């Protein structure tokens, strides 16, 4: 996919458009605007992985989808996005990865929004069925 294509910004946004790092990220952000889906661009997230805390900056965070993360898998970044998805899931954060081949199909925007909805519903169902493990005082337990 040619990531050098240019889409002019929506005139309604003017200077409110984030400073996207790549043209593909700009395409995704503008698509989110067309679908009236609010998002934060590169919002810091505290992540716990392998005994350490770290700050990650996912490409998009969707607050109306319970802070679901949409990562653009930049092929030049050298990041292992499958591992990032595993870490997001471990932290209880719903996430999906958009790759160049996902964005080169016809109606890619509809497909991506369907994936967002599906991942959100999957995460909601998963979290709804998780058991809550709390501390129990031994002196209050029944014999």
- 23-29-32 Cα angle (round to 5): 145
Taking alpha carbons only, the member of 60, 33, 49 closest to residue 90 is 49
Cβ atoms within 10 Å, residue 33? 17
Cβ atoms within 10 Å, residue 25? 19
| Tens digit of each residue's pLDDT (9 = 90 or more) over 80-105 | 999 999 999 999 999 999 999 999 99
Q: Has residue 117 got a pLDDT over 80?
A: yes
Helices (H), 17-133: 23-34, 81-90, 108-128
Query: In the numeric block, which tokens belong to residue 13?
Result: 């946004």
Q: Chain-centre distance of CA 30, in angstroms?
A: 15
User: Higher-confidence residue: 4 or 116?
Assistant: 116
CA distance 143 to 41: 53
pLDDT (0 to 100) of residue 22: 93
Q: Chain-centre distance of CA 92, in angstroms?
A: 12
| Tens digit of each residue's pLDDT (9 = 90 or more) over 3-51 | 445 555 556 555 678 999 999 999 999 999 999 999 999 999 999 999 9
Domain 14-127 has CATH 3.40.50.300: no
Q: Indicate the domain borders of the chain.
A: 14-127
Tokens 């998002």, residue?
Answer: 39
CA distance 53 to 13: 35
pLDDT (0 to 100) of residue 1: 47
pLDDT (0 to 100) of residue 16: 77
């Amino acid at each position: 996919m040619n990531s050098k294509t240019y889409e002019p910004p929506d005139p309604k946004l003017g200077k409110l458009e984030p400073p996207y790092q790549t043209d593909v990220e700009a395409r995704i952000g503008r698509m989110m605007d067309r679908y009236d889906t609010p998002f934060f661009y590169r919002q810091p997230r505290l992540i716990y992985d392998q005994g350490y805390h770290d700050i990650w900056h996912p490409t998009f965070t969707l607050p109306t989808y319970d802070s679901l993360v949409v990562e653009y898998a930049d092929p030049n970044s050298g990041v292992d996005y499958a591992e990032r998805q595993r870490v997001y899931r471990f932290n209880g954060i719903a996430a999906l990865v958009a790759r160049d081949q996902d964005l080169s199909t016809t109606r890619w925007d509809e497909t991506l929004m369907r994936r967002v909805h599906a991942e959100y519903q999957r995460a909601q169902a998963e979290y709804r069925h998780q058991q809550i493990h709390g501390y129990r005082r031994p002196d209050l337990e029944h014999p």
